[in-house]
Chains A and B, each alone.
Chain A
Amino acid sequence: MRHKTLVVGSGRLGANIAKHFSLKGISVDIIDISEDAFIKVGDEFSGNTIRADATDMMLLNQLDIKNVERMVIVTGDDNINIYVAHLAQYIYDIPKIYIRLYDTDKGKLVDQDRIKVIYPFILSLDEFLDLEGDQV
């Protein structure tokens, strides 16, 4: 039974998503290449913090990946996010995959029927236009 959540990249977004699921009682692993990044997850977080390179398949193989239901891929590098999303979809067939991309143009590299993409650029632009009261 797939029940785990795997967060890749412990930046502000990744750390807070991990904390959110952890507080809801869902089993969460968070991966980052830098140990310091885990400071952001805080004390309430009860999941595993794993210092490792998420693009390394050996690591993913060790992570009980068969039980992962949801993967949230939010490192600061679009290319890494896309590669890890491809691994998640084509190699591990993870049911729910979320990915953040700064470059909207790169969205076409992922299968958007399967992978949900978050674009900070679009969210910010929408918010700006909203604040400005612009009727588009």
Chain B
Amino acid sequence: MRIVICGGKFEADYIIGKFLEDKHKVIVINDDEQAAKYISEHHRLPVIVADPTKSYTFEDAQIQGADVLIALSENDINNYITCITAQRFFGVKKTICRVLNPKRVEIYKKLGIHTVISSIYMLGQTIKEEANIQSIFKTLQLTDDLITLTEIDIIEEFQLHGKQIQNLNLPPRINISCIMRGNKVVIPNGQTRLQINDKLMIISATTDQKQIHDFIERSRKGK
């Protein structure tokens, strides 16, 4: 693949290294002379010192029809202009725009940039997902923390509903002790089918609790 990397210093350096390892053809453009020198010396690669928001820079660099362009500078607006120019006038197949301000992710996508990445935005997404998982698990430690009671809400996303307990492939040493269904308590056996909104109570050794988390994570991805 032909890959164009615009701006950035350490980020660019790292990404260029990865692409070179995989034998891609890399075109590097950077308007900061020091960053350009750093990258050029590190990878023994020519770096075009020019402003990537100008069309003539792309003409000189011959990026026409490149497979991917990544805009990594610390100026969100310049990255936007770089990507738009590459998409519209140089037939670049995929543009990736880095932004510092996470609020710009959605807007840039609306304005037509193929992919927008923000490290803060991704951190936020991860935290949201983690928080979601945490809220689904409630745990209570008993007898000097050796035994743990884990409570799990069966939400649709888990893809466990409709299955009989004997077919769940629960990890070893993990058994469902009881199920709260509405305000009824169900003492389950292998034939019991799980329903959405069931609350499972699982008593396990505290050391085995991670297995429950992993099991739920797997079912969530539908594996």
Say yes or no: is B213 at the interface (Cβ < 8 Å to chain A).
Answer: no
Is there an interface contact between A91 and B107, defined as CB atoms closer than 8 Å?
yes
For B56, the closest partner residue in chain A by CB is: A105
Could you say which interface size class chain A belongs to?
Answer: 10 to 19
Q: How far in angstroms is the closest Cβ of chain A from B151? A: 39
Q: How far in angstroms is the closest Cβ of chain A from B55? A: 6
Chain B binding surface, main DSSP class: helix
Say yes or no: is B187 at the interface (Cβ < 8 Å to chain A).
Answer: no
Q: Which residues of B contact A (CB under 8 A)?
A: 53-56, 76-78, 80-81, 84-85, 88-89, 101, 103-104, 107, 110-111
Is there an interface contact between B81 and A79, defined as CB atoms closer than 8 Å?
yes
* A103: chain B residues within 8 A (beta carbon): 54
Say yes or no: is A57 at the interface (Cβ < 8 Å to chain B).
Answer: yes
Is there an interface contact between B54 and A105, defined as CB atoms closer than 8 Å?
yes
Say yes or no: is A109 at the interface (Cβ < 8 Å to chain B).
Answer: yes
* A82: chain B residues within 8 A (beta carbon): 81
* B103: chain A residues within 8 A (beta carbon): 56-58
Selected A-B contacts with CB under 8 Å, 8 pairs: A56-B101, A57-B104, A79-B53, A79-B80, A82-B81, A87-B107, A105-B54, A109-B88
Bound CA span A18–B22, Å:
55
Q: How far in angstroms is the closest Cβ of chain A from B199? A: 40
* A56: chain B residues within 8 A (beta carbon): 101, 103
Bound CA span A87–B111, Å:
8
Say yes or no: is A86 at the interface (Cβ < 8 Å to chain B).
Answer: yes
With A55-B77, A79-B77, A109-B81 known as contacts, the answer to whether A90 contacts B110 (CB < 8 A) is yes
Bound CA span A13–B56, Å:
28
For A77, the closest partner residue in chain B by CB is: B77
Bound CA span A95–B184, Å:
61
Bound CA span A57–B77, Å:
13
With A87-B107, A108-B89, A109-B85 known as contacts, the answer to whether A79 contacts B78 (CB < 8 A) is yes
Q: How far in angstroms is the closest Cβ of chain A from B8? A: 17
Q: How far in angstroms is the closest Cβ of chain A from B24? A: 28
Bound CA span A58–B103, Å:
9
Q: How far in angstroms is the closest Cβ of chain A from B158? A: 36
Known: A56-B103, A87-B111. 16 other contacts (CB 8 A): A55-B76, A56-B101, A77-B77, A79-B78, A79-B80, A82-B81, A83-B77, A83-B81, A90-B110, A91-B107, A91-B111, A103-B54, A105-B55, A108-B89, A109-B81, A109-B84
* B78: chain A residues within 8 A (beta carbon): 79
For A79, the closest partner residue in chain B by CB is: B81
Q: How far in angstroms is the closest Cβ of chain A from B114? A: 16
Bound CA span A80–B56, Å:
19
Bound CA span A80–B81, Å:
9
Q: How far in angstroms is the closest Cβ of chain A from B182? A: 43
Pick the contact of B107 from A57, A105, A108 — CB < 8 Å?
A57
For B104, the closest partner residue in chain A by CB is: A57
* B56: chain A residues within 8 A (beta carbon): 105
Bound CA span A55–B84, Å:
16
Bound CA span A86–B104, Å:
13
Within 8 A of B (CB), among A49-66: 55-58
